[in-house]
Structure 1
Amino acid sequence: MKGVWLVFPSTQKFNHKFNLGVIGLLGVLMLGLIVGCSNSGNNGSSAVAVTPSPAAANSAENTETRMISTIKGDIEIPAHPKKVAGMLYVFADHLLALGIEPHAMVTYNDLGFPEYLADQMKDTIAIGSGEAPNLEALLEAEPDLILASKTLNEANYEQLSRIAPTILFDNENEEDWTRFRQTAEIFGKEAEADQIHADYEAKIAKVRDELAAAAPNETVAYMRIQDKQLQLIQPGDNFTLFGPLGLTPASTDDIDFKDSWNVAISEEVLPELNPDRMFIILRPGDSNQTALDNIMSTSIWTNLTAVRNKHVYIGDANLWFAGYGPIGLSKVIDEISGAYLPES
């Protein structure tokens, strides 16, 4: 039997005789409904199913919790978190890839939300940089779950935990896709994460074959402009250009990296590298742009093979050095592919 609402009129609006008539009529209706209910139902059952109202269902969902194991022990978190805060900028990429808009998020250093994600974070509350989070702003944001980094946040873990349940990840040395899947596990989205990873691997394989056909045997130098310096990146440090995509780095045998992943170089070193293509990642800021402009105004620059062939590509540090989630990784592949195959 379907539910029926009976609305009783206020007795103050009708006379006594009319009220008696109404009551009598309602009594007959109620008797008929009771008989009807007793004769209906599934397989003769007289039980009546009660469906919670949407408000009650939402309330139950918001208060449901589960236990999760972390490096700080077992903690209780919402089963269905609605207001997730991230204390490391890569969490923004992870969450958005999983279809979750962050409620509050630290910025990439002093550069704000990464440009490649900003249009998807219009309602996200900024809570300072990852290196200097604004805990007062985080408190005002009232998150119901905080994703944090052991490296950056262990010192203030207790403060964070008093604001909301806090998961401290100790995985910054793990492979990027491992980190992404660990984030996905918090939200029960492992299957989605695995599919996103599979799609990325298929994309890598396709682009690798296209580049091998389009530019065989070409050499590549990977650099960045930061702190007004031109810095050369160790070829082994970039997993995309010289790893999965299989591009050939320009020889750096004469470069002393001093056990670092990058080293500042002068423009006089560029002719020694003289790569066929150059990827230069520019950190925002007038001083860095000026440094690049000064290098590009020299005769050394204009005589480089990559420059003469118009094979120099300027990338955004917000993406190339902060985009270590699925969205950023995929966009970097798009930029590399577009550099080699502009018509595509």
Structure 2
Amino acid sequence: MDHSALAQPANADEPLRDDRGTPIEAMQAERVAAISTFAADTLVALGVSPVGASTFGSEPLPSYLGAPLSHTRSLGQRASTNLELLTELKPELIIGIHRYTEPHARQLEAIAPFYAFDVVSLADSHRAVTGIATALGKRAEGEALNQAFDARLAKLDEAPGGVSAILLAGAGEAPFAYHDHFLSATLLEHLNATNAAGPSPTPEQTIPFGYTISLERLLALNPDVIFLFATGSERAFANNPVWPYLEAVKNGRVYEVGPHWKEGGGPIARRLILDEMAWRLYPEDVARPELPPSIASHPYS
């Protein structure tokens, strides 16, 4: 198993920067806004309830984070954050995803100190968790969260293996499949499973993190397990005549997973994904994790 994506010990005196190149300075911020589910997740894991949070999909706030968001205001979609409401909330710090916030970065900086991270890979997740924790004056806590996750990965290194899987998103005629470096797909490798979608043809670039795949190509790959990311629309590709011939479909091993799988870089989401993925890949060897019914995976039919 290649552990290059795992957290590496960091020099506590080493200066950190976000993915915009902005040096991260520790501060005592009680009012923090999160532009992304990932940022809200990381804040909650560090014991901070965000005053406002942007998300994606149909949920106004990520439900899997539960009670810590009971007083959090929804700022709308991560790519179109309600800046007027954000200003009214008077945050002392703003954390976001780089690619969604870059168009209005200056507006955000005018509201409060702002740090942004692009969280696609597991290494990105480790780096961003440490960065956010550092901004909150909690660097040691952030590194401890990363180390705890790595310890869990290490325990699963002896998973049985011999299974292939693919992660699919979208609802059109052809779904979107995720490359190896996308965080949820990376976890397959750590569970000794093969990601049927394979590696990126441009490994030096984080984006694109996947590709549109035809049903004919999917049949050629024929993974044992298919994980479908949640969508609010009927999946047209599941009505394709090829679909019933897939081994995963024939064997009842197609699972619709919760929305946290799509933006799983936070400490809470990545642990939930890992434990549920392990159980679905190896149901005879791994215990079923306890998850709220609203986010638990279920067989797709």
TM-score range, shorter chain: 0.7 to 0.9
Of the two, which has the highest radius of gyration? Answer: 1
CA distance in 2, matches of 1:263, 1:74: 34
Q: Is the Cα contact below 8 Å between 2:172 and 2:237 reproduced in 1?
A: no
Q: CA deviation at 1:205?
A: 1.8
Residue 338 (1) aligns with residue 287 (2): no
Query: 1:251-278 CA distances to partner (integer Å, 9 max, x unpaired)?
Result: 769x9xxx95433333333331122222
Give 1:273's match in structure 2, choosing from 210, 216, 221. Answer: 221
Counterpart in the other structure of 1:206: 155
Q: CA deviation at 1:324?
A: 1.1
SS at match of 1:120: helix
Counterpart in the other structure of 1:108: 56
Q: CA deviation at 1:94?
A: 0.9
CA distance in 2, matches of 1:109, 1:218: 30
Q: Is the Cα contact below 8 Å between 2:189 and 2:195 reproduced in 1?
A: no
CA RMSD of aligned residues (A): 3.3
Aligned CA distance change for structure 1 residues 143 and 261 (closer, same or farther; 3 Å): closer
Give 1:240's match in structure 2, choosing from 181, 186, 190. Answer: 186
Q: Is the Cα contact below 8 Å between 1:84 and 1:103 reproduced in 2?
A: yes
CA distance in 1, matches of 2:189, 2:99: 26
Give 2:114's match in structure 1, choosing from 167, 179, 182. Answer: 167
Give 1:306's match in structure 2, choosing from 241, 245, 248. Answer: 248
**Greater relative contact order: 1 or 2 (C-alpha under 8 angstroms, separation 6 or more)?**
2
SS at match of 1:113: coil
CA distance in 1, matches of 2:118, 2:223: 35
Q: CA deviation at 1:93?
A: 0.9
Map 1:48-127 → 2, pairs under 5 A: 79-108=27-56, 111-127=59-75
Q: Is the Cα contact below 8 Å between 1:225 and 1:291 reproduced in 2?
A: no
Aligned CA distance change for structure 1 residues 73 and 182 (closer, same or farther; 3 Å): closer
Give 1:194's match in structure 2, choosing from 116, 125, 143. Answer: 143
Query: 1:47-72 CA distances to partner (integer Å, 9 max, x unpaired)?
Result: xxxxxxxxxxxxxxxxxxxxx98868
Q: Is the Cα contact below 8 Å between 1:110 and 1:129 reproduced in 2?
A: no
CA distance in 1, matches of 2:275, 2:263: 16
Counterpart in the other structure of 1:133: 81
- Percent identity (aligned): 27
Unaligned runs of 5+ in 2: 1-15, 202-206, 288-301
SS at match of 1:86: strand
Q: CA deviation at 1:119?
A: 4.5
Counterpart in the other structure of 2:295: none
TM-score, structure 2 normalization: 0.73
Q: Is the Cα contact below 8 Å between 1:222 and 1:235 reproduced in 2?
A: no
CA distance in 2, matches of 1:90, 1:221: 22
